Amino acid sequence: MTYSTLDEGRRLIIEIMATGTDTVSGMRQILDRCRQSHPTGIGHLEELDIGTDLQALRTWLLTVLRVEPPSSNIASLWFGLYIPERDNERQGYDLYVAGTDSFDPVDTTGDWLGDPSYWPKHRYAHSRVLRALSALKVDVATPTTSIARYILPLAYACLSVRETIQSIEPALLCGNRLSRGLVVGFDEGDYIVLGTIDMGGLQSSSHQ
């Protein structure tokens, strides 16, 4: 399967995540699919130090949850993709964690996300891989490569957040709640529901 629209790219991410693959294997599949649609110019997985970034993401999220735990009214954790400005320049995507007091994966409008009620001070992940993905070599600017620039950060965010969540004790993620929703997406609005975390671990969502 190749892709030609943002919606097809999103479905590709969901399809690959449904296999339960880890971040490295999942990103390899994503990059291979990107090259099928646009054979030239897409960078290589070897350019990305995913292992080190995953360790850093785990350390970051553990620190946030321990130092600034979400209160019991927080029903979902939002892992947002945004483009920070560094030295007055926009330099690729980064990831942050926030939380909302609602979770309704059946409602695809995303209106339930609302404004964050949980806004920790140390919410920014400073992911080196997300920043590097924005700099992957693309020889020719086409609509397809523009779609790839959308798919790659969203895919990495979904895969890496899921792997990070699976490495953390559920009690720390749930706090005083029976469960919390987990959502990854762009500040601009497009998102993927990873599922819910409860004391049994991550439960994948059937509503994506």
pLDDT digit string, tens, across residues 3-32 = 456 788 888 899 999 999 999 999 988 888
Contact in structure between 193 and 205 (CB atoms under 8 Å):
yes
pLDDT given at position 2: 42
Specify the 3-state DSSP secondary structure of 73. coil
Cα–Cα distance between 75 and 73 in angstroms, integer? 6
Mean pLDDT over the full length of the chain = 85
- Encoded tokens for 100: 């909302």
Closest by Cα among 112, 127, 187, 134 to 159: 127
Cα–Cα distance between 34 and 144 in angstroms, integer? 8
Whether residue 40 is predicted with pLDDT greater than 70 in this model: the reply is: no
**Between residues 91 and 117, the one the model is more confident about:** 117
Using one digit for the tens of pLDDT, what is the confidence trace for 54-82?
Answer: 999 999 999 999 999 999 999 999 999 99
Using one digit for the tens of pLDDT, what is the confidence trace for 148-180?
Answer: 678 889 999 999 999 999 999 999 999 999 999
Cα–Cα distance between 110 and 24 in angstroms, integer? 29
pLDDT band at 101 (very low <50, low <70, confident <90, very high): very high
